[in-house]
Structure 1
Amino acid sequence: MSETNKDDRAALLAEAAGPATELPPGWLEVVSMDMDAQGVARKSDGKVVFIDGALPTEWVSANTHRKKNNWEAASLMAIHRESAQRVRPGCPHFGLHSGACGGCKMQHLHVGAQVAVKQRVLEDNLWHLGKVKAETILRPIEGPAWGYRYRARLSVRYVPKKGEVLVGFHERKSRYIADMQTCKILPPHVDAMLMPLRALIGGLQARDTCPQIELACGDTVTALVLRHLEPLSEGDLARLRAFAAEHGVQWWLQPKGPDTVHLLDADGAEQLAYGLPDFGITMPFKPTDFTQVNSHINRVLVTRALRLLDAGKAERVIDWFCGLGNFTLPIATQAREVLGIEGSEALVARSRENYEKNQAQRPVQQALAATSFVARNLFEMTPEMLVADGVADKWLVDPPREGAFALSKALADLHQARLGAEGAPPLPAGAAHWVPPQRIVYVSCNPATLARDAGLLVHQAGYRCVAAGVVNMFPHTAHVESMAVFERA
């Protein structure tokens, strides 16, 4: 969390909370958790303290290591009253100790309580940043708490002092790689490969110039992308092939930028893909394409999103930030016409390929709706561009962490222009017959930007926030995914 965000959060907590509980000197009562999974307490003078490792309802002692005007940062020293939701972490590398892995932040909190904390974060952001309250709180989308991470970027480093290679995530608040021998959020077959991977890289001639391994698991294929800064010798390539044969993985090599990624052995290689069985869709992808980390949750997420969207056979739908077509192709099983819009030309090309492959495999009576894809910078949307895209009955919006501000602002500007609001821009050409979507389903990976955009949609674009809820895509981390539904008021 940035210092500015901490200042804002501290001010809100100090204003909203009553007087601090009377406790022995030096003790603190933890009242909530922040977006960095730190316990939040207040001193008797109202000053807010963010405490690593502390949980809501606990009474603790903490060691302050940073002081600002209206908040302090501290580390947990002792727990005097323990939360009923505190659990034993499932991974030996989790904790506050030196060298602890920084990949997870909430393993000490029961997974059900983690979801409740994330729901509170979503609601707090919607209200404090957007002045929006959802009419209905959706039931959280949850799935397996362990072995869920089908995508990961593992750092690699040969450490001469230790005489071994480290493969894994970085230590807490450090640039050093954690000495990980296991990782319980990775799929079990990948977890079992961590130590063999260390031995493999340690035996390469290029061990000093292989900084990263990127993991991508499909439904039946596991791909490992090796970043190497110098050409690999024939001996090293032979070692990679032997490892692939023993562990049932595909090796992809990345000698330079992402566009240089290629299969080590392409002949007869099975294609990386994941399925969306509720819609009869199979999504091929490359290991460097963006796909959701948690395939279990993604299947439920797509089904929930399309149920909320409720596209009919007579309706046209626009899928903004469509990526590979994760939502676009399922929508095409329900709507009359679909338009997918994405910022990356490469992803648009992949979306078209995926659409054509799925269309070719479906019986005529189950053909996908007419679907087109367009590449465009969605962070520079204007009312004129919205009108040019034509009328759509419904939208699905799935932006990156930056959110969909330009898109929401363009929609708000059109509404304000129609109302003749003071200072509103004039209606663009052709807008007289343009109609905004009746419903918008917004899938978010950042509650702060969702709240910002929700404020625009509700207060300036003429929508109601009829529902919102969290998606626990990343158990044991502080990452908050969510979904909100907006309808024209």
Structure 2
Amino acid sequence: MARHRSPRIDKTPFEAEILDLSHDGRGVARREGKAVFVAGALPGERVMAEQTAKNRHFDEARTLEVLAASPQRVVPRCLHFGSCGGCVLQHLDESRQIEAKQQVLLDNLERIGHVAPASVLPPLTDASWGYRRKGRFSVRRVDKKDKTLVGFREQDPRFVADLSECHTVIPEIGLRIAALAQLVDGLQARAHIPQIEFIAGDAADGFSGIALVVRHLQPLGDADLAALAAFAQARDWAVFLQPGGLESVHALWPQAPKLAFALPQWKIELLFRPLDFIQVNAGLNQKMIARTFELLEPQPQDRVLDLFCGLGNFTLPLARLAGEVVGVEGEAGLVARARENAAHNGLHNVQFHAADLTQDQRGTPWMRQGFDKLLLDPPRSGAIDVLKQLPLKQFDRIVYVSCHPGSLARDAAYLVNEQGYALRSAGVMDMFPHTAHVESIALFERG
């Protein structure tokens, strides 16, 4: 059987004029009529580049030298920029980053959805450094380097970036990556720890609110357990162990740490577990909730449906404003904790239901209840499956929070072109500064 061979890559450096910025933060050039995506290059620049991949319809390359720089180019803050794949836009001025993301949103709405908002919302921004309170570090022992690497994946995702620090992660963790790598390298089980997740809530009662979850593929010995506990104790962190699936996660130290964050504007405290989904950017999250409610305009007499509700990040503060709120989420564990959070906050006008929103839910009691307004915060795949099931005529107003502009554009096409809604406004929110990730929000009203 003949083996498939990858197209041969020509490593000869070539000069390129950068015409545009792609959705993933690379410069776009054309070479012999073919699109080339050039990592590390910005629109308006002239660069020397080297091909890194060859495809039928486009090629990929990396910048070797900037021959003529864009006025929007800045010096990256992180010494690992260019190798680490955690963020790809540090070389672009921050104000231009959010403009580029807004253009990605508008282009997707036009190209995929064939729709345009009546108005573009002002971008939402918050702290651009030290904002990331949740994430996953890959761990790999590299014998050739005689060290253990802890960090995000490189731009080539086969490799773990050799990080000493990260300026987008909250500084309590981001400036201690080298110490974390040294800790793991000293463990007997260092070759059997593939990842460490981190999450941070609010500090309280002498506890920093920071927790690590150490995934390990073989049982840890007493010396390793003691080393992990001592590392956490010295920093007032919590450390959890994960020997198997999600259900295997358990606290090593302390026995029952309280993980929580507050939404003070609505007098809400959300309790969570260390592998639960929470929005990574605490400051932007509060601004996002406030903008969502400005667009949704919940009234004391309204019944509101919140789909893909998670722990109740929107649902619980919304219950302070609306008459009744129903939250629906696919992960049963999150639903259980959302109910606990409702009780924790003394809310009695909110219901939570577990349901796979990609499947037919038309026979479920919550689907048959009447509602006035709809809030959606779906995963990257979007909400088209559940939108096609809902009796949409009951909703005067729909607010859609999106983490993927392509799926938002597809769903907007359905709401506008098939269901008669008007796209009143849309805009971007910089949940992940210095990355190409585009978080956005849109308001639909019945035409």
1:396 aligned onto 2:396: no
Flag the 1:447–1:247 CA change in 2: closer, same or farther, 3 A.
same
Q: Deviations over 1:325-344 (max 9, x none)?
A: 00000110000111101111
How far apart, CA to CA, are the structure 1 residues paired with 2:350 and 2:17? Answer: 55
Deviation at 1:106, TM superposition (A): 0.7
How far apart, CA to CA, are the structure 2 residues paired with 1:391 and 1:67? Answer: 53
1:460 to 381, 395, 418: 418
Secondary structure of 2:131's aligned partner: coil
Provide the residue aligned with 2:206 in structure 1.
none
Q: Which moved more, 1:51-60 or 1:147-156?
A: 51-60
Provide the residue aligned with 2:107 in structure 1.
124
Flag the 1:342–1:174 CA change in 2: closer, same or farther, 3 A.
closer
1:49 aligned onto 2:36: yes
Residue segments in structure 1 that go unaligned for 5+ positions in a row: 1-25, 360-367, 416-434
Provide the residue aligned with 1:217 in structure 2.
200
Secondary structure of 2:388's aligned partner: helix
1:336 aligned onto 2:323: yes
How far apart, CA to CA, are the structure 1 residues paired with 2:185 and 2:54? Answer: 43
Write the letter of the residue equivalent to 1:408: L
1:279 to 240, 244, 266: 266
Write the letter of the residue equivalent to 2:440: S
Contact 1:171 1:178 in 2 (8 A): yes
Write the letter of the residue equivalent to 2:312: G
How far apart, CA to CA, are the structure 1 residues paired with 2:368 and 2:199? Answer: 34
TM-score normalised per structure 1: 0.84
Q: Deviations over 1:67-105 (max 9, x none)?
A: 44543322224333211110000000112xxxx211111
Provide the residue aligned with 1:407 in structure 2.
386
Secondary structure of 1:199's aligned partner: helix
2:356 to 377, 398, 412: 377
**Highest CA radius of gyration, 1 or 2?**
1
How far apart, CA to CA, are the structure 1 residues paired with 2:336 and 2:78? Answer: 40
Provide the residue aligned with 1:294 in structure 2.
281
Deviation at 1:400, TM superposition (A): 0.4
Provide the residue aligned with 1:247 in structure 2.
235
Q: Report how many aligned residue pairs link the two structures.
A: 429
How far apart, CA to CA, are the structure 1 residues paired with 2:419 and 2:365? Answer: 14
Contact 2:149 2:160 in 1 (8 A): yes
Q: Which moved more, 1:80-89 or 1:28-37?
A: 28-37
Provide the residue aligned with 2:9 in structure 1.
none
**Per residue, is there more helix in 1 or in 2?**
1
How far apart, CA to CA, are the structure 2 residues paired with 1:399 and 1:450? Answer: 9
Provide the residue aligned with 1:203 in structure 2.
186
Contact 1:150 1:294 in 2 (8 A): yes
Contact 2:75 2:91 in 1 (8 A): yes
How far apart, CA to CA, are the structure 2 residues paired with 1:318 and 1:140? Answer: 26
How far apart, CA to CA, are the structure 2 residues paired with 1:258 and 1:385? Answer: 28
Deviation at 1:49, TM superposition (A): 2.4
Provide the residue aligned with 2:405 in structure 1.
447
- Over the matched positions of the two proteins, sequence identity in percent amounts to 46
Deviation at 1:408, TM superposition (A): 2.3
RMSD: 1.8
How far apart, CA to CA, are the structure 1 residues paired with 2:110 and 2:232? Answer: 50
Provide the residue aligned with 1:326 in structure 2.
313
Residue segments in structure 2 that go unaligned for 5+ positions in a row: 1-13, 204-208
Matching of residues 153-192 of structure 1 within 5 Å: 153-192=136-175
How far apart, CA to CA, are the structure 2 residues paired with 1:385 and 1:236? Answer: 49
Secondary structure of 2:322's aligned partner: coil
Flag the 1:77–1:204 CA change in 2: closer, same or farther, 3 A.
closer
Contact 1:272 1:287 in 2 (8 A): yes
Provide the residue aligned with 1:314 in structure 2.
301
Provide the residue aligned with 1:228 in structure 2.
216
| Runs of 4+ with deviation above 6 angstroms | none
Q: Deviations over 1:137-169 (max 9, x none)?
A: 011111111111100101112222222211111
How far apart, CA to CA, are the structure 2 residues paired with 1:117 and 1:147? Answer: 21
Contact 1:154 1:214 in 2 (8 A): yes
Contact 1:65 1:73 in 2 (8 A): yes
Secondary structure of 2:358's aligned partner: helix
Flag the 1:206–1:72 CA change in 2: closer, same or farther, 3 A.
closer
Provide the residue aligned with 1:134 in structure 2.
117
How far apart, CA to CA, are the structure 2 residues paired with 1:484 and 1:251? Answer: 39
